[in-house]
Chains A and B, each alone.
Chain A
Amino acid sequence: MTGRPGGLPGCLELDPGLVRSAREDARVIVDEIMDYVRHHTTTSMERAALRLAGINGVDGEGTPLPNRLVDQIGSELGHGASYWLFNAVAVTGRDPGEVARAVADEGLDLIRLPGADPVKVRELGRAAARRAMDHISSRRREREDFVDRLGESPQPWLYVIVATGNIHEDVVQAQSAARMGADVIAVIRSTGQSLLDYVPHGATTEGYAGTYATRENFRIMREALDAVSEELGRYVRQVNYASGLCMPEIAALGAMERLDMMLNDAMYGILFRDLSPRRTLVDQYLSRRISARAGHIINTGEDNYLTTDDAYEAAHTVIASQFINEEFALQAGLAREQIGLGHAFQMDPDLTDGLLWEIAQAALVRALFPLSPIKFMPPTKYKTGNIFRSHLQDCLFNLVGVLTGQSIQLLGMPTEAIHTPFVADRYLALENARYVMNNARDLGREVVLRPGGRIQERAVRVLEGAAGMLGEVRAIGLWEALEQGMFAGVRRPRDGGKGLDGVVPREPGYFNPFLAHLEGVEGDG
């Protein structure tokens, strides 16, 4: 179904049969995992459902109410937290928020309540799901209206990060960046949030290397970016992380607060955070279902493979992972236009013709996933304190981005190896990108690749490597491939990792009206 891309990436002579078989392998690989996913739920998945039901806030000790409820439901979670919640709603006549408060403040025990009429319980749940989905859809329409009314920049969109640790200072830096030309603002998360099994509450003013992904932080930044979008007459997008142990919950908060992009990778947490493979693969499914409905663009994290592995030698692992990430995303209902597959510019600068290999890789990704908003990430691995050379590395990176038609360009900072960006670092990075991309805007449509030349050959070899790897993964299955260390060189036992104790088999009659609505099984979605 993928059309041939225009411009320079269209010059790659790729074997369509090989591309088809790579996708077919990815489909079989993901099918096996999805069979597991459909029979399990997780604590974070159930907490996401509770949040969608309208449960917010914390108890007297600061524990989020969704955690309180899921903890109380305990071993009965396999029936779905929604069953216990809406049973309580039916019995008490209170709304979900009031029920949660009663659990926290009055000792209400969801499990010990009498069972209400199951038909009524399910109807209450389905009605709540319709309300939640209507809300998410209305937030999505707000974004579409903004873009229609204000417009947006041509791609590649310029993506910068803010990371002051104080959301109010982040706002100052984000608005400044937008005024200097940024199209996308990513608020970096506080270090270690991926390992928290709850979503913190409220505004962050003292985070480590970032702020927490919280609903309030999302809201504060959205409001600030809407204001600056109006000022500039151009819609400025907001990014955060639906990753770690609370993937689906954060996706739900991002949907409710109109975030535009979520960093979300099917395998990143497993490989780079030692999270439970079972937990992560179940969690990614609901998080992506929610993002599909919210109109989020997800950003996958294949760039990370190249921080530990060599960009030249491991290039095919990036492509193989992208095929898998794409298939997981498609099976969760995301449109190709929402699947922002990631890769990075990480060749050793001392490598002769390294630029050629970067062009080959970027063109290959573009050609393989022509409808996807590809996210291109900057050099970091070979950056040093030499800010002047660093600026040059970013210049080549920007050139490759515009030449090969990347969609989302995460800008490199001259001070990458030194500190989280100062306001002036962002200015220099944006000036660099605007200069290069404006000067070379149509270069990719003017040059062709020499047939049989080194760039073409390199791209073909990388694709062959990826297809070969997918074949191997298909033969043994993804669980086994993770255990053997086929991705990023780390071995991840399927029954190891953090958060495994939050994975629960679904009981017969499992009730999750939110998931059902998103899957189109029930409701009017």
Chain B
Amino acid sequence: MMVEDIRPYGDHPDDGAVQVAFTLPLKAGPQAAEAARELMRQMGIEDAQVVHSRDLGGDFTFFVGYGRCRHRVNPGALEVPRVDLEVMDFRAVNQFVRERLGRKVLLVGACTGTDAHTVGLDAILNMKGFAGHYGLERYPEFRVINLGSQVPNEVLVARAVEEGADAVLVSQVVTMRDVHLGNLTRLAELLEAEGVRDRVVLVCGGPRITHDLAVELGYDAGFGPGTTPSLVASYIVGELDRRRVAGRLGEAR
């Protein structure tokens, strides 16, 4: 199938309609509005209109703008990094573990470093789960150790080694000044130094985490916003099974 270059759709094909909202460090007035329109034009927005502006006090003005984006994309020509897997539901994951792995999966999870925001970690791990999906604690074939917030990387690694974890899950919410990057990298390095990196499935998640970023940092997978516990579970058990099979093949050679 031929994929054409496309533009945004407002109310008819190829109209390129986009909305933007931003603040300029200027007092409200005609000069500021023209600056906003000029900025939109430089963004590639034609027929730039400022439909709303508001003085925020202290030399700031907020703008809402509409226009037509002149840029196009060819989605077929894009390479999209992603976790490649089939998502199983709660029942299917547990059945998969029983049939293919034959033992419980042990997972250790934490918010590491100075991060105190456990919302994402709890959404994946807590019994209650998230958006109608049970958390991994509810999965009979998982044993979950949730270490909670502000866990030093060293503590997480020590616990994973002590428990013989199959999977390590790290949540990073605070990303100001890219604090999460150094912290995530450090954890992967520590696991490597302890010689256990290959023995665990290492995954991370958070609002600014993407799969390709995670892989770049030395993780097996990364999960962004809206990830359900069953997606994480599906990935982990699938990866464990893949390694199990690969291991056996290796022996056969």
Interface set of A (CB-CB < 8 Å, partner B): 165, 172, 175-176, 179-180, 191-192, 194-195, 206, 208-209, 272-274, 307-310, 350, 380-381, 384-385, 417-418, 420, 422-424, 427, 490
Contact = CB atoms under 8 A, between A and B. Distances in A.
B225 A424 contact: no
Interface string B153-182: 000000000000000000000101101000
Q: Is the interface of B mostly helix, strand, loop or mixed?
A: loop
| Chain B CB within 10 Å, residue with most, of A195, A209, A272 | A209
Contacts of A427: 54, 56, 62
B207 interface: yes
Contact of A307 (B23, B57, B122, B225): B122
B58 A490 contact: no
Interface residues of B, number: 29
A165 B177 contact: yes
Given A385-B225, A424-B21, A424-B22, A165 B56 contact: no
Contact of B177 (A176, A208, A381): A208
B129 to A, nearest CB: 10
Given A179-B57, A274-B148, A381-B119, 5 more contacts: A273-B116, A418-B207, A423-B23, A424-B22, A427-B62
B150 A273 contact: yes
A423 B113 CA distance: 28
B119 A380 contact: yes
A191 B21 contact: no
B95 interface: no
B41 interface: no
A208 B176 contact: yes
Contacts of A272: 116, 149
Interface of B: 21-23, 54, 56-58, 60, 62, 113-116, 118-119, 122, 126, 128, 132, 148-150, 174, 176-177, 179, 207, 225-226
A22 B57 CA distance: 48
B207 A417 contact: yes
A380 B56 CA distance: 25
Given A180-B57, A273-B150, A191 B23 contact: no
Q: Is the interface of A mostly helix, strand, loop or mixed?
A: loop
A309 B119 CA distance: 10
Given A384-B226, A385-B225, A175 B177 contact: no
A367 B60 CA distance: 41
Contacts of A194: 116
Given A179-B57, A420-B176, A191 B128 contact: no
A490 B148 CA distance: 10
Contacts of B22: 424
A417 B225 CA distance: 9
Nearest to B176: A209
B62 A191 contact: no
B150 to A, nearest CB: 6
Contacts of A208: 114, 174, 176-177, 179
A308 B116 contact: no
Contacts of B57: 175-176, 179-180
Contacts of B60: 176, 423-424
22 contacts: A165-B176, A172-B58, A175-B57, A176-B60, A179-B56, A180-B57, A191-B115, A191-B176, A208-B174, A208-B179, A272-B116, A272-B149, A273-B116, A274-B150, A307-B119, A309-B128, A381-B119, A385-B225, A423-B23, A423-B56, A424-B22, A424-B56
